[in-house]
Amino acid sequence: MSDHNSELQLVTFQLGAEYYGIDIMQVKSIEETKEVRPIPNSPAYVEGIFNLRGEIIPVINLHKRFHLARVVADEDDELLRGFLIIRVAGMHVAIIIDKVSRVLTVNTGEVQQPPQMISGIGAEYIEGVVAREEGYLIILDIDRLFNMRELAQLETIAR
């Protein structure tokens, strides 16, 4: 992120009280909430799997992963809930989001180092933060969200 003139396109969404962004190049699609089939003996943060046009996709609950409270949604917000399908280590994973926001273009010069502890998420999962009027936008580093063992587990679940 050293080039101060380049731009980063982020898909932004709300999880708990905070807003997050993921590089648009790592997002496959945004899907409405689907029926999720639980998987016995899977890690606590894995909600289960669902079928997306013939592909079995593991569903990750970042609220559980990072111990975040869910947003209490009114009916309009309920429509904005869904799954963000992201590419991690060559496979697709769905993360549950409270509210999809928008695609935002930020200048890489605006991206700052994250404070050590931000909303319960360790700095190792954060690529950077962008100061906005309504607080920080936290840019997630999805390649670091799961370690090798967890990725292997997710791959097994998706088979």
pTM of structure: 0.85
Task: Decide: 112 and 101 in contact? Cβ < 8 Å.
Answer: no
User: Which tens digits make up the pLDDT trace of 73-99?
Assistant: 666 666 678 999 999 988 999 999 988
Band (pLDDT 50/70/90 cuts) for residue 134 is confident
Mean pLDDT for 54-78 is 80
pLDDT for the residue 6? 93
Q: Over 90: is that where the pLDDT of 117 sits?
A: no
- Cα separations in angstroms, 114 against 10, 124, 138: 17, 9, 8
3-state DSSP call for residue 129? strand
